[in-house]
Protein backbone atom coordinates (compact mmCIF):
# COMPACT_ATOMS: atom_id res chain seq x y z
CA UNK A 1 0.00 0.00 0.00
CA UNK A 2 1.21 3.49 -0.87
CA UNK A 3 0.69 6.57 1.33
CA UNK A 4 0.87 9.80 -0.67
CA UNK A 5 0.46 13.42 0.36
CA UNK A 6 0.34 15.48 -2.83
CA UNK A 7 -2.06 15.49 -5.74
CA UNK A 8 0.81 14.86 -8.16
CA UNK A 9 1.91 11.75 -6.23
CA UNK A 10 -1.67 10.49 -6.12
CA UNK A 11 -2.21 10.89 -9.85
CA UNK A 12 1.12 9.22 -10.61
CA UNK A 13 0.11 6.15 -8.61
CA UNK A 14 -3.34 6.04 -10.22
CA UNK A 15 -2.21 6.61 -13.81
CA UNK A 16 -2.10 2.87 -14.77
CA UNK A 17 -5.71 2.35 -13.69
CA UNK A 18 -9.12 3.07 -15.24
CA UNK A 19 -11.73 2.73 -12.49
CA UNK A 20 -10.79 3.76 -8.93
CA UNK A 21 -12.90 2.69 -5.98
CA UNK A 22 -12.67 5.62 -3.55
CA UNK A 23 -13.59 5.98 0.12
CA UNK A 24 -13.15 9.54 1.46
CA UNK A 25 -12.73 9.84 5.25
CA UNK A 26 -11.59 12.26 7.91
CA UNK A 27 -9.56 9.53 9.58
CA UNK A 28 -9.88 8.14 13.12
CA UNK A 29 -11.27 5.10 11.37
CA UNK A 30 -13.75 2.59 12.77
CA UNK A 31 -15.34 -0.60 11.43
CA UNK A 32 -17.84 1.39 9.40
CA UNK A 33 -15.07 2.92 7.30
CA UNK A 34 -13.40 -0.47 6.85
CA UNK A 35 -16.70 -2.00 5.72
CA UNK A 36 -16.96 0.71 3.04
CA UNK A 37 -13.46 -0.09 1.78
CA UNK A 38 -14.31 -3.78 1.54
CA UNK A 39 -17.61 -3.05 -0.25
CA UNK A 40 -16.01 -0.68 -2.73
CA UNK A 41 -12.90 -2.72 -3.52
CA UNK A 42 -14.53 -5.27 -5.91
CA UNK A 43 -16.10 -2.43 -7.92
CA UNK A 44 -12.85 -0.85 -9.13
CA UNK A 45 -9.39 -1.76 -10.35
CA UNK A 46 -7.60 0.20 -7.60
CA UNK A 47 -8.82 1.05 -4.10
CA UNK A 48 -8.14 4.53 -2.72
CA UNK A 49 -8.99 6.10 0.61
CA UNK A 50 -8.39 9.70 1.62
CA UNK A 51 -7.73 10.93 5.14
CA UNK A 52 -8.29 14.65 5.50
CA UNK A 53 -9.92 16.69 8.26
CA UNK A 54 -11.72 19.32 6.21
CA UNK A 55 -11.72 22.73 7.86
CA UNK A 56 -14.43 24.01 5.49
CA UNK A 57 -17.16 21.86 7.03
CA UNK A 58 -16.49 22.89 10.64
CA UNK A 59 -18.11 25.95 12.18
CA UNK A 60 -15.85 28.15 14.36
CA UNK A 61 -17.30 26.65 17.58
CA UNK A 62 -16.97 23.03 16.43
CA UNK A 63 -14.21 20.49 17.05
CA UNK A 64 -11.82 20.97 14.10
CA UNK A 65 -8.71 21.44 16.25
CA UNK A 66 -9.53 18.57 18.62
CA UNK A 67 -10.74 16.10 15.97
CA UNK A 68 -8.51 13.00 16.37
CA UNK A 69 -5.67 12.60 13.87
CA UNK A 70 -4.57 8.94 13.86
CA UNK A 71 -2.85 8.46 10.50
CA UNK A 72 -0.51 5.60 11.46
CA UNK A 73 -3.27 3.46 12.99
CA UNK A 74 -5.64 4.33 10.15
CA UNK A 75 -3.08 3.31 7.53
CA UNK A 76 -2.59 -0.06 9.20
CA UNK A 77 -6.32 -0.72 9.17
CA UNK A 78 -6.67 0.33 5.55
CA UNK A 79 -3.78 -1.88 4.46
CA UNK A 80 -5.35 -4.86 6.23
CA UNK A 81 -8.65 -4.14 4.44
CA UNK A 82 -6.98 -4.25 1.01
CA UNK A 83 -6.66 -0.54 0.29
CA UNK A 84 -4.01 0.19 -2.36
CA UNK A 85 -3.44 3.94 -1.98
CA UNK A 86 -3.99 6.28 0.97
CA UNK A 87 -4.20 9.95 0.05
CA UNK A 88 -3.37 11.96 3.19
CA UNK A 89 -2.87 15.54 2.02
CA UNK A 90 -1.75 18.31 4.29
CA UNK A 91 -3.99 21.35 4.28
CA UNK A 92 -1.48 23.23 2.09
CA UNK A 93 -1.56 20.34 -0.42
CA UNK A 94 -5.32 20.35 -0.89
CA UNK A 95 -5.85 24.08 -0.30
CA UNK A 96 -2.62 25.77 -1.49
CA UNK A 97 -4.53 29.05 -1.56
CA UNK A 98 -7.79 30.14 0.09
CA UNK A 99 -10.68 28.12 -1.37
CA UNK A 100 -12.77 31.02 -2.65
CA UNK A 101 -14.58 28.92 -5.27
CA UNK A 102 -17.08 26.73 -3.41
CA UNK A 103 -19.94 24.39 -4.28
CA UNK A 104 -23.32 25.58 -3.03
CA UNK A 105 -25.78 22.65 -3.10
CA UNK A 106 -29.47 23.18 -3.75
CA UNK A 107 -31.07 24.74 -0.71
CA UNK A 108 -34.15 22.49 -0.85
CA UNK A 109 -31.90 19.59 0.18
CA UNK A 110 -29.03 21.22 2.05
CA UNK A 111 -30.67 23.89 4.23
CA UNK A 112 -32.84 21.51 6.29
CA UNK A 113 -31.91 19.14 9.12
CA UNK A 114 -28.09 19.08 9.36
CA UNK A 115 -27.84 22.13 7.11
CA UNK A 116 -30.20 24.07 9.37
CA UNK A 117 -28.32 23.29 12.57
CA UNK A 118 -24.86 23.49 10.96
CA UNK A 119 -25.09 26.40 8.49
CA UNK A 120 -22.57 26.09 5.68
CA UNK A 121 -21.83 22.45 6.49
CA UNK A 122 -22.89 21.06 3.12
CA UNK A 123 -21.03 23.81 1.26
CA UNK A 124 -17.86 22.59 2.97
CA UNK A 125 -18.70 18.94 2.33
CA UNK A 126 -19.61 19.45 -1.33
CA UNK A 127 -16.53 21.57 -2.00
CA UNK A 128 -14.04 19.11 -0.52
CA UNK A 129 -15.75 16.08 -2.07
CA UNK A 130 -15.72 17.64 -5.53
CA UNK A 131 -12.06 18.57 -5.06
CA UNK A 132 -11.19 15.04 -3.91
CA UNK A 133 -13.11 13.64 -6.87
CA UNK A 134 -11.05 15.84 -9.19
CA UNK A 135 -7.86 14.50 -7.57
CA UNK A 136 -8.81 10.82 -7.75
CA UNK A 137 -10.91 10.57 -10.92
CA UNK A 138 -9.23 13.07 -13.27
CA UNK A 139 -8.94 11.46 -16.68
CA UNK A 140 -10.74 8.31 -15.58
CA UNK A 141 -13.62 6.98 -17.70
CA UNK A 142 -15.52 5.84 -14.60
CA UNK A 143 -15.23 5.23 -10.90
CA UNK A 144 -17.09 4.48 -7.68
CA UNK A 145 -17.13 6.43 -4.42
CA UNK A 146 -18.47 4.99 -1.17
CA UNK A 147 -20.22 6.90 1.62
CA UNK A 148 -21.92 5.60 4.75
CA UNK A 149 -25.67 5.85 5.21
CA UNK A 150 -25.21 7.13 8.75
CA UNK A 151 -24.68 10.51 7.08
CA UNK A 152 -27.91 10.06 5.14
CA UNK A 153 -28.38 13.64 4.02
CA UNK A 154 -24.75 13.85 2.94
CA UNK A 155 -25.21 10.84 0.64
CA UNK A 156 -28.16 12.53 -1.05
CA UNK A 157 -26.27 15.81 -1.45
CA UNK A 158 -23.23 14.10 -2.98
CA UNK A 159 -25.36 11.93 -5.26
CA UNK A 160 -27.24 14.96 -6.57
CA UNK A 161 -23.97 16.86 -7.07
CA UNK A 162 -22.59 13.98 -9.15
CA UNK A 163 -25.76 13.95 -11.26
CA UNK A 164 -25.77 17.72 -11.78
CA UNK A 165 -22.12 17.84 -12.82
CA UNK A 166 -22.45 14.71 -15.00
CA UNK A 167 -19.53 13.04 -13.24
CA UNK A 168 -18.88 9.42 -14.33
CA UNK A 169 -18.89 8.27 -10.72
CA UNK A 170 -21.19 5.70 -9.13
CA UNK A 171 -22.11 6.56 -5.53
CA UNK A 172 -22.23 3.53 -3.26
CA UNK A 173 -24.22 4.00 -0.03
CA UNK A 174 -22.99 1.56 2.61
CA UNK A 175 -25.22 0.41 5.43
CA UNK A 176 -24.64 1.89 8.87
CA UNK A 177 -22.42 -0.28 11.05
CA UNK A 178 -23.54 -0.59 14.67
CA UNK A 179 -22.26 -1.72 18.04
CA UNK A 180 -24.01 -4.62 19.78
CA UNK A 181 -26.37 -2.25 21.60
CA UNK A 182 -27.37 -0.54 18.35
CA UNK A 183 -25.27 2.63 18.58
CA UNK A 184 -24.15 3.73 15.12
CA UNK A 185 -20.37 3.63 14.82
CA UNK A 186 -18.91 7.12 14.64
CA UNK A 187 -15.51 8.71 15.15
CA UNK A 188 -17.14 11.03 17.69
CA UNK A 189 -18.26 8.14 19.91
CA UNK A 190 -14.77 8.33 21.41
CA UNK A 191 -15.75 11.63 23.02
CA UNK A 192 -18.40 9.91 25.19
CA UNK A 193 -17.78 9.19 28.87
CA UNK A 194 -18.49 5.60 30.02
CA UNK A 195 -21.90 6.64 31.38
CA UNK A 196 -22.72 8.56 28.21
CA UNK A 197 -21.68 5.58 26.09
CA UNK A 198 -24.25 3.42 27.90
CA UNK A 199 -26.93 6.06 27.33
CA UNK A 200 -25.99 6.72 23.69
CA UNK A 201 -27.90 3.71 22.34
CA UNK A 202 -31.12 5.46 23.35
CA UNK A 203 -30.89 7.58 20.20
CA UNK A 204 -31.53 4.68 17.85
CA UNK A 205 -34.21 3.38 20.24
CA UNK A 206 -35.96 6.75 20.02
CA UNK A 207 -35.79 6.66 16.21
CA UNK A 208 -37.19 3.13 16.16
CA UNK A 209 -40.06 4.10 18.47
CA UNK A 210 -40.87 7.14 16.33
CA UNK A 211 -40.88 5.04 13.18
CA UNK A 212 -43.14 2.43 14.77
CA UNK A 213 -45.58 5.12 15.93
CA UNK A 214 -45.67 6.72 12.48
CA UNK A 215 -46.33 3.41 10.74
CA UNK A 216 -49.00 2.35 13.27
CA UNK A 217 -51.34 5.28 12.54
CA UNK A 218 -53.41 5.46 9.35
CA UNK A 219 -52.95 9.23 9.12
CA UNK A 220 -50.33 10.10 11.74
CA UNK A 221 -49.85 13.59 13.11
CA UNK A 222 -46.12 13.56 12.42
CA UNK A 223 -45.27 16.92 14.02
CA UNK A 224 -46.93 15.77 17.24
CA UNK A 225 -45.19 12.38 17.19
CA UNK A 226 -41.84 14.05 16.47
CA UNK A 227 -42.34 16.53 19.33
CA UNK A 228 -43.18 13.69 21.72
CA UNK A 229 -40.07 11.77 20.66
CA UNK A 230 -37.86 14.81 21.25
CA UNK A 231 -39.45 15.45 24.65
CA UNK A 232 -38.87 11.83 25.70
CA UNK A 233 -35.20 12.06 24.75
CA UNK A 234 -34.84 15.44 26.47
CA UNK A 235 -36.21 13.94 29.70
CA UNK A 236 -33.24 11.56 29.62
CA UNK A 237 -30.83 14.50 29.58
CA UNK A 238 -30.28 14.83 25.84
CA UNK A 239 -30.48 18.07 23.88
CA UNK A 240 -32.19 17.01 20.63
CA UNK A 241 -31.95 19.09 17.47
CA UNK A 242 -34.44 17.01 15.52
CA UNK A 243 -36.15 13.63 15.36
CA UNK A 244 -38.19 13.44 12.20
CA UNK A 245 -39.80 11.18 9.61
CA UNK A 246 -38.99 12.05 5.99
CA UNK A 247 -39.22 10.65 2.48
CA UNK A 248 -36.05 8.79 1.53
CA UNK A 249 -35.93 10.31 -1.95
CA UNK A 250 -35.62 13.99 -1.02
CA UNK A 251 -35.95 14.24 2.80
CA UNK A 252 -39.17 16.23 2.50
CA UNK A 253 -42.00 15.58 5.01
CA UNK A 254 -44.33 12.84 3.72
CA UNK A 255 -47.92 13.65 2.91
CA UNK A 256 -50.99 11.44 3.34
CA UNK A 257 -50.96 7.72 4.24
CA UNK A 258 -47.48 6.37 4.90
CA UNK A 259 -48.05 2.66 4.33
CA UNK A 260 -46.43 2.41 0.89
CA UNK A 261 -43.88 5.22 1.11
CA UNK A 262 -40.13 4.53 1.49
CA UNK A 263 -39.33 6.58 4.60
CA UNK A 264 -36.37 7.33 6.81
CA UNK A 265 -36.39 8.44 10.44
CA UNK A 266 -33.52 10.81 11.20
CA UNK A 267 -32.24 12.25 14.43
CA UNK A 268 -29.52 14.48 15.84
CA UNK A 269 -29.04 15.17 19.53
CA UNK A 270 -26.34 16.25 21.92
CA UNK A 271 -25.39 14.02 24.84
CA UNK A 272 -23.12 15.91 27.18
CA UNK A 273 -20.68 17.68 24.84
CA UNK A 274 -21.02 15.15 22.01
CA UNK A 275 -23.45 15.58 19.13
CA UNK A 276 -24.63 12.28 17.64
CA UNK A 277 -26.63 11.64 14.46
CA UNK A 278 -28.37 8.50 13.27
CA UNK A 279 -31.18 7.30 11.02
CA UNK A 280 -33.28 4.24 10.23
CA UNK A 281 -34.92 3.42 6.92
CA UNK A 282 -38.49 2.19 7.51
Which positions are catalytic? 33
Q: Where are the alpha helices (DSSP H) in 95-221?
A: 107-110, 114-117, 121-137, 152-164, 194-200, 202-216
**Rounded-to-integer distance, Cα 70 and Cα 75, Å:** 9
* CB-CB contact of 80 with 97 (8 Å): no
Q: Does residue 116 come out as left (phi exceeding 0), alpha (psi in the -120 to 50 range) or beta?
A: alpha
Q: Using alpha carbons only, what angle is made at residue 85 by residues 68 and 148, rounded to the nearest 5 degrees?
A: 55
Residues 6+ apart with CB under 8 A from 157: 105, 109, 110, 122, 125, 126
- Across the chain, the runs of DSSP E, i.e. the strands, are 2-4, 20-25, 46-51, 85-87, 143-148, 169-174, 239-247, 263-271, 274-281
Judged by DSSP in three states, 276 sits in: strand
- Closest among 25, 77, 278, 36 to 174, alpha carbons compared: 36
Amino acid sequence: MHIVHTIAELRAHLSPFRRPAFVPTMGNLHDGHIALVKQAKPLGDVTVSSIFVNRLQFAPHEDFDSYPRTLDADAQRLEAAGCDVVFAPREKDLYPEPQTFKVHPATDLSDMLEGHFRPGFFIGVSTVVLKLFSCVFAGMPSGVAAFGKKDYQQVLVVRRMVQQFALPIEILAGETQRAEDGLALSSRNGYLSPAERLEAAQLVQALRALGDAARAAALPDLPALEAQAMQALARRGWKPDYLTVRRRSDLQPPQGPLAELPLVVLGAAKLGNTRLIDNLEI
